[in-house]
Amino acid sequence: LIGIAVHFLAGYLFGSIPFGLIFTRMAGLGDIRAIGSKNIGATNVLRTGRKDIAFATLLADMLKGTFAVLLAAYIAGDPHTSVLEKNLGELITGFGAFIGHVFPVWLRFRGGKGVATYIGVLLGFFWPAALAFGAIWLFTAFVSRYSSLSALVAAVLTPVVLYFMTNVQAAGFFAIMSLILIIKHHANISRLLAGTETKIGKSAAPVG
């Protein structure tokens, strides 16, 4: 039980670093939580018009998840040969990183929606599934131009991909993360249904 708590907390610490907030502040863009959708993620950072800062946010929010999982694997001495050898510690650390991003104690538990960190954790855990997530996201974004819809479609399909390509344990962990991701997108879902969701790269965004 202590092992589970240590893995979760270690992942949480990495995941809770709000890179979108830090980078936009450093770039003198003000508080990202007052702009567009008010989210701290890369999609909203892009609404400031700064593609470079949005890209840096995407990369950093992703890689903190990847790093946490790989660190857990390294410490456990996991040679990363087969996904079936991956231990529970990696899943719990990745889960902690995702939760840290979505509910960071530093921001009174009001964090991001978890998309980038979800991909990053997947990348560290089983990279082909991260590629699948990315491909589904890109395809949906290409067709719809909605970042939120793309993330929602990818989040629904990824646990299914994991179920067939890895095991039920991994699929279960990511299914829980998908559920949290979907709930965090509730305002986006309402806007999508109302036809008022902002498309990718458009600077004017509805409040919420």
Taking the least distance from each CB to ligand G3P, the nearer of 178 and 188 is: 188
Distance CA 133, CA 151 (A): 8
> Is residue 81 helix, strand or coil?
coil
Angle at 57 between CA 189 and CA 184, to 5 degrees: 25
Examine residue 147 and tell whether it contacts ligand G3P (CB under 6 A). Answer: yes
Examine residue 158 and tell whether it contacts ligand G3P (CB under 6 A). Answer: no
CB of 1 to ligand G3P, least distance (A): 33
Q: Which residue has the tokens 């008010």?
A: 38
Answer whether 29's CB lies under 8 Å from 48's CB: yes
Backbone φ and ψ for 99, nearest 5 degrees, come out as -65, -40
CB of 122 to ligand G3P, least distance (A): 15
108-127 positions binding ligand G3P, by CB under 6 A: 113, 115
How many chain residues bind ligand G3P (CB under 6 A)?
A: 12
Examine residue 24 and tell whether it contacts ligand G3P (CB under 6 A). Answer: no
CA 106 to chain centre: 18
Closest by CA position to 119, among listed 154, 160, 167: 154
CB of 184 to ligand G3P, least distance (A): 8
Taking the least distance from each CB to ligand G3P, the nearer of 70 and 115 is: 115
The DSSP code sequence of 154-165 is HHHHHHHHHHHH
CB of 170 to ligand G3P, least distance (A): 22
Examine residue 44 and tell whether it contacts ligand G3P (CB under 6 A). Answer: yes
Examine residue 166 and tell whether it contacts ligand G3P (CB under 6 A). Answer: no
Distance CA 68, CA 74 (A): 10
Window contacting ligand G3P (CB under 6 A); options: 20-28, 37-45, 78-86, 170-178? 37-45
Residues that bind ligand G3P (CB under 6 A): 36-37, 39, 41, 43-44, 113, 115, 147-148, 151, 188
